[in-house]
């Protein structure tokens, strides 16, 4: 028998993820909207911390990227420990849908509401930073440079980096379910998130904050190019999270049922 201090085993995590997917799908609409707005802002705070951490340093230097990834992880920590609805992590709801514990309509409703809520929360935070005056400092130049680089990615690059990124994000969420205490959840989230930032992968909700923030800071990025970049990363994040993690683990631990 497991003690109250042992980590949950993978098969138990799969059951917990499915139960969470059912709960997420059945959230009342006002609650779902509020939690998705919070998640967009939470990831934005993590992305802002990342920008500040790399400001004044060579962004291609490995240790700087590790530091940036570590501080960026505060966004997902806030979402998981504090409680919020994040579109990228909710790719794991596919497990509940495949096992018919929620309907396809429930899944799509949740994804659409959370996607839009995350966008509004992230853009709203970017607007707050615009009015804060922080973009007039070197921080703003970093924001513009990062946004320009993200908008310049080709479709295949954006899609692939998005898929790889959300595989790591969903693994971070998966691992957080193994922990029975807050410290364990934070440590489970920290390293997969740091890894995706270190590798230069693309996270949709972070980009919902970083692209408008860079535009506010003077980046020559059009609304059309920003929207296109978000679209390709969205598809990649769905494939990487839903296919690369959710369906793989569902096959491993639930496929025989």
Q: Which tokens sit at 203?
A: 């996270």
C-alpha to C-alpha distances, 233 to 6, 142, 189, 236, 246, nearest whole angstrom: 36, 21, 21, 5, 18
Asked whether 54 and 149 are in contact (CB, 8 A), the reply is no
**Quick check: 44 and 127 in contact, CB under 8 A?**
no
Let me know: does 157 contact 170? Beta carbons within 8 Å: no
Domains of the chain: 10-254 (1.20.1080.10)
User: Is the pLDDT assigned to residue 69 strictly greater than 80?
Assistant: yes
What's residue 122's pLDDT? 98
Q: Is the pLDDT of residue 2 over 90?
A: no
Model pLDDT for residues 180-234, shown as the tens digit of each residue: 999 999 999 999 999 999 999 999 999 999 999 999 999 999 999 999 999 999 9
Average pLDDT over every residue of 7-18: 92
What integer pLDDT is reported at residue 109 of this predicted model?
Answer: 97
**Which residue is it, tokens 């799509």?**
108
Residue linked to tokens 């509401």: 113
């Amino acid at each position: 028998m497991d003690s109250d201090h042992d980590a949950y085993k993978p098969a138990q995590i799969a059951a917990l993820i499915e139960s969470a997917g059912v709960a997420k799908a059945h959230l009342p609409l006002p609650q779902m909207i509020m939690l998705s707005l919070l998640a967009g802002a939470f990831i934005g705070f993590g992305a802002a911390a990342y920008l500040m951490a790399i400001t004044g340093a060579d962004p291609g230097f490995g240790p700087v990227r590790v530091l940036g990834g570590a501080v960026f992880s505060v966004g997902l920590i806030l979402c998981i420990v504090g409680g919020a609805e994040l579109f990228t992590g909710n790719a794991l709801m596919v497990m509940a849908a495949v096992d018919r514990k929620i309907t396809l309509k429930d899944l799509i409703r949740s994804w659409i509401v959370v996607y839009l809520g995350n966008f509004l929360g992230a853009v709203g935070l970017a607007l707050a930073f615009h009015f804060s005056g922080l973009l007039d400092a070197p921080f703003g130049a970093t924001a513009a440079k990062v946004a320009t680089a993200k908008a310049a990615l080709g479709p295949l690059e954006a899609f692939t980096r998005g898929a790889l990124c959300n595989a790591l994000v969903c693994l971070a969420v998966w691992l957080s379910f193994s922990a029975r205490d807050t410290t364990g959840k934070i440590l489970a989230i920290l390293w997969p998130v740091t890894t995706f930032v270190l590798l230069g992968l693309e996270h949709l909700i972070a980009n919902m904050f970083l692209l408008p923030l860079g535009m506010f800071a003077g980046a020559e990025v059009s609304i059309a190019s920003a929207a296109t970049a978000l679209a390709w990363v969205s598809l990649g994040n769905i494939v990487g999270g839903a296919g690369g993690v959710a369906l793989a683990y569902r096959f491993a631990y639930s496929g025989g049922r």
